[in-house]
Structure 1
Amino acid sequence: MVQLEQLASAHESLVELLRNMPRRVLAEIVCAAGGVSSDNIAEIQERTPSVEVSGLARAARKAAADLVLVVHTFDGKLLVIWIFEVQLSWNADKRWIWALLQAAFAAESRTDALVVVVAPSPRLRDRIRKKLMPQVAPPLLLLEPDQIKLIDDADEARRRPLETILGAVYHAREDSPFSLRVAGIRAALLALQTLDSASCRRYTVLVMSIAPTAVVQQAMKELRERGELDEGRFETFTEMEREGYSFNHGREEGRQEGRQEGRDEGREEGLHIGQLLTLRRALVDILELRGFAVSVGLRERIETCGDLETLERWYDGARSLAVDAPLDQLFDG
């Protein structure tokens, strides 16, 4: 059986979740983050996430965002371009990438363009808020948990599965009571059971990668006790419980290593390992989804890379690499 984590990365799963979210719900979230009303929004359309950027000292090149939505008013006018960027790891270079994307989409559309950053990790959001946001102009929007509803009702979870999953993921690592976070993940697991097989697998990766292990285990335990967990539908649940959840497993290894060496860096080291695992999987995923054949040699090079900045650079390049370009160009550039 193909490993679940090979089917979709957490990053790509979250991008896909945003893409498939009800447009009106997404609009309410973004408008709440920006402190504006959504009453004037009539239509929201997705457009290609790539844009050509003219260079001053070199030829124009393409830049790509995770998701781009075009917002229109009731009189048919273009209101704003929303540029969604999913962040699961730290990248200081994003200050330049986000500024570039905003300028490029604004120039192309002749309207305002706004980067909307989606980062489920509280620590990462805090770092972005303090170190990147003051340096990006025009200002960007950073989605916060209080703008995304946490759904814990079973019936509502089945009616609104994608909203339930997003809320559970975004609140899973907050300082809220453990029981509340468990309720959110429990509802997300019920929501997953309403989806088609491919979507269920993809979003399971997202939940298992981001939510703390203890929260997921308790939520699954409670569903089993109630007889509400469809074990047959989720063939990978038992395997993932046994082997651990990749992102959090990396964090735990870091904590254990830190305790053994008597250092306080264990937690940070665990986070670093988790980020490496996530980026490696995401890079292979996006290359294969775009139709590239990843050789054994290149796969080994990706899996042995221990530098986050290099992996981020490869990942950003993979999103905009021409489909007929040799893969060596990406890794040797």
Structure 2
Amino acid sequence: MPTLEHNALVEMFREHPELAPRLLATLFHVEVPPHASVAVVESSLDQLIPVEFRADLVLELRGASGALVLAIVVEIQRDEDPDKKFSWPTYVTVVRARKRCGTVVLVVAPDVGVASWAAESIDLGLGLGHVEPLVLGPAVVPEITDPADAERETELAVLSAVAHGNGPKGLAVVQAALVGLGRLDQEHAMVYFQVIWSGLREPMRRALEALVMERQIEGEERFPFVRELMDRSKLAGLREGELKGMREGKLEGKRDTLLRLLARADIVLTESESARIQACTDIATLDRWIDNVLAAKNAAEVLS
């Protein structure tokens, strides 16, 4: 099921269709055909065979005369999916055949490992034909640390924060992106910040929280959702910790009960058997061992 982060990135390209060809030209140095318009079209790609393929987004570039000059299939990829190596060539051939124009696949992959996997050439068979996905990943997306640049290219700044937020310049990249979000309405800014926040690892989250607490993030007062999301995330972590603590306490109680019953039954444990009890994290198993003590003559029968 698509996540909020996945859908938000799709919507970024849907609401700003001109972003895709601009990135192809500026980041991949591809010669994009001259065009007068970019439009989102259907993403459902039906073949003559009874199979439906659905891309995240399909964009059409048209020249001044209205003729199609290029189609771009946009795919958001946050994890490796072997099926994509078969569907991406399908997207290219079906769109190309239907629209009678050149077609490319643009894959947005914020994770460096996923981006490397996605960029692999797809052999169509016997080395006679290939599909080369264009991958918008950390190796291609620039690290935008200048707030002025982030304000001019807010969508690219968001992609930069998603791709580089955990890197050496991560904090500066995220701060710049937050400044860029200032030119957006609250709804879009909140969604984009959540996309950035969800991709940050704990060390970077803590560093960002510290800056927010010190109110050293430019324009942070305009984004009440920043602190709200951080607080909600922290609360969720506390709840998870509380639940983990309760479970550990219950397990420890079960282990203590089992050990006391074994001692009363004069059943001696070897070192490995004792370690096995301490390592057990399944309450049902510990309950079964406790019941076994009543009729057991040795530790092997208890731990059976």
In the superposition, the TM-score normalised over structure 2's length comes to 0.66
Q: How many residues align?
A: 230
Matched, 1:184 2:159: no
Residue 316 of structure 1 aligns with which residue?
none
Q: How does 1:227-306 map to 2 (within 5 A)?
A: 228=218, 229-230=220-221, 232-234=224-226, 235-243=228-236
CA contact (8 A) 2:36 2:62 kept: yes
Residue 13 of structure 2 aligns with which residue?
18
Q: Which runs of 5+ in 1 are unaligned?
A: 1-6, 254-333
- Partner amino acid for 1:36? V
Residue 199 of structure 1 aligns with which residue?
188
1:68 aligns with one of 58, 62, 68: 58
Shift of 1:112: 1.7
Residue 27 of structure 1 aligns with which residue?
21
2-side partners of 1:240 and 1:186: how far apart? 19
Residue 103 of structure 2 aligns with which residue?
113
Q: Which runs of 5+ in 2 are unaligned?
A: 125-129, 245-304
SS at match of 1:214: helix
1-side partners of 2:69 and 2:170: how far apart? 36
1-side partners of 2:200 and 2:152: how far apart? 22
Change in 2 beyond 3 A, CA 1:21/1:147: farther
Shift of 1:37: 2.7
Q: How does 1:35-46 map to 2 (within 5 A)?
A: 35-38=29-32, 40-46=34-40
- Partner amino acid for 2:5? A
Residue 249 of structure 2 aligns with which residue?
none
| Structure with a larger share of its residues in helix | 1
CA RMSD, 1 decimal: 2.9
Residue 172 of structure 1 aligns with which residue?
165
Change in 2 beyond 3 A, CA 1:71/1:83: same
1-side partners of 2:17 and 2:166: how far apart? 24
Change in 2 beyond 3 A, CA 1:193/1:211: same
- Largest Rg, 1 or 2: 2
Change in 2 beyond 3 A, CA 1:123/1:38: same
Residue 47 of structure 1 aligns with which residue?
41
Residue 163 of structure 1 aligns with which residue?
156
CA contact (8 A) 2:45 2:94 kept: yes
Change in 2 beyond 3 A, CA 1:201/1:114: same
2-side partners of 1:182 and 1:162: how far apart? 17
Change in 2 beyond 3 A, CA 1:154/1:129: closer
Matched, 1:135 2:123: yes
- Partner amino acid for 1:44? V
Change in 2 beyond 3 A, CA 1:93/1:239: same
Deviations 1:154-210 (A, max 9, x none): 344344432211121122355xxx2x2211111223333443333233222211222
Residue 222 of structure 1 aligns with which residue?
211
Shift of 1:9: 1.6
1-side partners of 2:217 and 2:81: how far apart? 43
- Partner amino acid for 1:232? P
- Partner amino acid for 1:65? A
Structure with larger RCO (C-alpha < 8 A, sep 6+): 1
Deviations 1:36-73 (A, max 9, x none): 23472332111111122111xxxx34321111110123
In the superposition, the TM-score normalised over structure 1's length comes to 0.61
Q: Give the share of equivalent positions with the same residue, in percent.
A: 23
